[in-house]
Amino acid sequence: MPAVESVLVVGAGAAGCATAILLASAGVTVDLIDSRPTVGAVGSGITLQGNALRVLRTLGVWEDLQPRGYAFDGLGIRAPGPQAALLGEVTDNRTGGPDLPATFGTYRPVLARILVERAAAAGARIRYGTALTGVDQDATAVTAHFADGTSGVYDLVVGADGLHSTTRSAVGIDLPTTDVGMDIWRFVAPRPPSVTRTELIFGGPLFIAGFCPTGDDSLYGFLVERPQNRGDLPPAEALELVRSLAEPYHGPWDDIVASSPVNFTRFQVHLLPPPWNRGRVVLIGDATHVCPPTVAQGAAQSLEDAAVLAELLTTRHTVDDDLWTAFTERRYERVKTVVDVSMQMCHWLLEGVRGDVPGLHARVFQAVSHPA
Ligand SMILES: Cc1cc2nc3c(=O)[nH]c(=O)nc-3n(C[C@H](O)[C@H](O)[C@H](O)COP(=O)(O)OP(=O)(O)OC[C@H]3O[C@@H](n4cnc5c(N)ncnc54)[C@H](O)[C@@H]3O)c2cc1C
């Protein structure tokens, strides 16, 4: 018998949906809530590394997702300048195993919908427009309070509610989030034939100019700049801006014409030291760890959190300190490597240091190549 019979999962992002799918499939009664009015995600692309695909395959969604993105191996690093000379290539990075691609680009709303549909099919009861506002707990149960004035009693609450997690503050954890000092513009565009993998240009007028193919006809691009307080530009001006920011870049960039939607975000970082639970409330995903997406591992780590948590909850018989210690022993150092490497890349960029970027990627690949 699993360690829990009823679980509330707060947040229907990658971490929450994955947890709901795995627990509901094991016979646990799962309520999955999200404060959004309906299923959704930022209208941008996402880069899923092999270790993320491994979890997605376990969830039973890889078959659905595979035809709706672009799989590729390797990563190219180019120089700024008119020739966009190829400086380096990262290969041998099939972190999900030899039978999964190294990397897969897709559109976030596609991934969000596939995950939620799978959670529903697995038996999770999904309620959108439902925000967690607080929790009370004793040694045996948690009472969760919702914004509509209702409440529910569960064996466990999983806070997968992202960067500004209410679950986290509800259990009294004050986790400061720091601005890194970089802003990112993301956009979608038709994929020209010259774009067949992720390529990054470090330096030039921006910190990073990069792209990732997301389908036969699509890609997403990202441009990372010094903060200039222009995140609230109207959509047409934002599109004009990203086109002008991309203009000094060449090579495949010559063929890329940015289109809407254009999305703006700041790079931020936080990492919660163990333990990730307070009693019968546990945090996973961005609620515990956020870092700049310089090695594109945030969603991968969130999915891995869910996989490890669900495995422990369904193979053990009690929720106790041993379970929580085992959880963070399997998660913390791995996540910390990703956060440290992602931040190292930002420090080099902020200080104008030309560091060993392929070496950093190799460190992450080594850390995440074995199942979490
Ligand atoms: C610019 C940028 C680019 C990135 N690119 C990549 C990439 O290419 N590859 C990659 O692997 N990762 C990437 N990431 C990281 C990745 O997006 C996140 O790590 C991942 O989405 C986190 O998933 P999550 O489920 O933990 O949180 P989220 O996706 O944030 O989901 C949290 C959910 O909780 C809900 N919620 C919040 N509060 C409440 C509440 N009180 N009650 C109920 N529901 C609530 C929200 O509505 C939301 O749906 C990137 C991040 C950024 C910022």
pLDDT tens for 276-291 read 999 999 999 999 999 9
**Does residue 310 surpass a pLDDT of 90?**
yes
Residue nearest to atom 30 of ligand 1 (CA): 162
Concatenating the DSSP letter of every residue in 36-87 gives: SSSS---SSEEEEEHHHHHHHHHHT-HHHHGGGEEEE--EEEE-SSTT--EE
pLDDT (0 to 100) of residue 187: 97
Give the whole-angstrom CA distance, residue 204 versus residue 298.
26
Ligand 1 contacts CB of residue 296 (under 6 A) = yes
Residue pair 70/105 in contact by the 8 Å Cβ criterion: yes
pLDDT at res. 1: 81
Q: Which of 107, 271, 241 is nearest to 180 (CA)?
A: 271
- Pocket of ligand 1 contains residue 28 by CB under 6 Å: no
Q: Which atom of ligand 1 is nearest to the CA of 45?
A: 8
pLDDT of residue 93: 87
Q: How confident is the model at residue 302 (pLDDT cuts 50, 70, 90)?
A: very high
pLDDT of residue 284: 99
Phi–psi pair at 246, nearest 5 degrees = -80, -20
CA-based torsion, 13, 17, 18, 19: positive or negative: positive
The pLDDT tens digits for 155-208 are 999 999 999 999 999 999 999 999 999 999 999 999 999 999 999 999 999 999
User: Nearest-CA neighbor of 276 among 262, 289, 295, 292?
Assistant: 289
297 lines ligand 1 (CB under 6 A): yes
pLDDT value at position 372? 93
- Whose alpha carbon is nearest atom 31 of ligand 1? 13
Query: Does the pLDDT value for residue 40 go beyond 90?
Result: no
Q: Are strands 29-34 and 125-128 parallel, antiparallel or unpaired?
A: parallel
Residue 87 Cα to ligand 1 middle (Å): 32
Q: Is 11 in the pocket of ligand 1 (CB under 6 A)?
A: yes
Q: How confident is the model at residue 41 (pLDDT cuts 50, 70, 90)?
A: confident
Alpha-carbon distances, residue 328 vs 85, 306, 321 (angstroms):
43, 12, 11
Delineate the domains of the chain, giving CATH numbers in brackets: 6-71+104-177+269-368 (3.50.50.60), 180-267 (3.30.9)
**For residue 42, is pLDDT > 90?**
no
Find the mean pLDDT for residues 218-234: 96
Q: For residue 286, how far is its CA from the centre of ligand 1 (angstroms)?
A: 6
For residue 309, pLDDT over 80 is answered with yes
pLDDT at 368 over 80: yes
Amino acid code (one letter) for 292: P
User: Quick one: what percent of the chain has pLDDT higher than 90?
Assistant: 96
Q: How confident is the model at residue 245 (pLDDT cuts 50, 70, 90)?
A: very high
Which residue has its alpha carbon closest to ligand 1 atom 4?
293
| Average pLDDT in the chain | 97
Q: What's residue 121's pLDDT?
A: 98
Ligand 1 pocket test target in 169, 286, 305, 335 with most atoms within 8 Å of CB: 286
Using pLDDT thresholds of 50, 70 and 90, give the confidence band for residue 91. confident
Q: Which of 194, 220, 221, 225 is nearest to 207 (CA)?
A: 225
Is pLDDT at 252 greater than 90 in this prediction? yes
DSSP state at residue 200: E
- Does ligand 1 have an atom closer than 6 angstroms to the CB of 17? no
Q: Which of 24-28, 90-94, 126-130, 271-275 comes out lowest in average pLDDT?
A: 90-94
Note the pLDDT of residue 66: 98
Model confidence over 320-348: pLDDT tens digits?
999 999 999 999 999 999 999 999 999 99
Q: Is the pLDDT of residue 92 over 90?
A: no
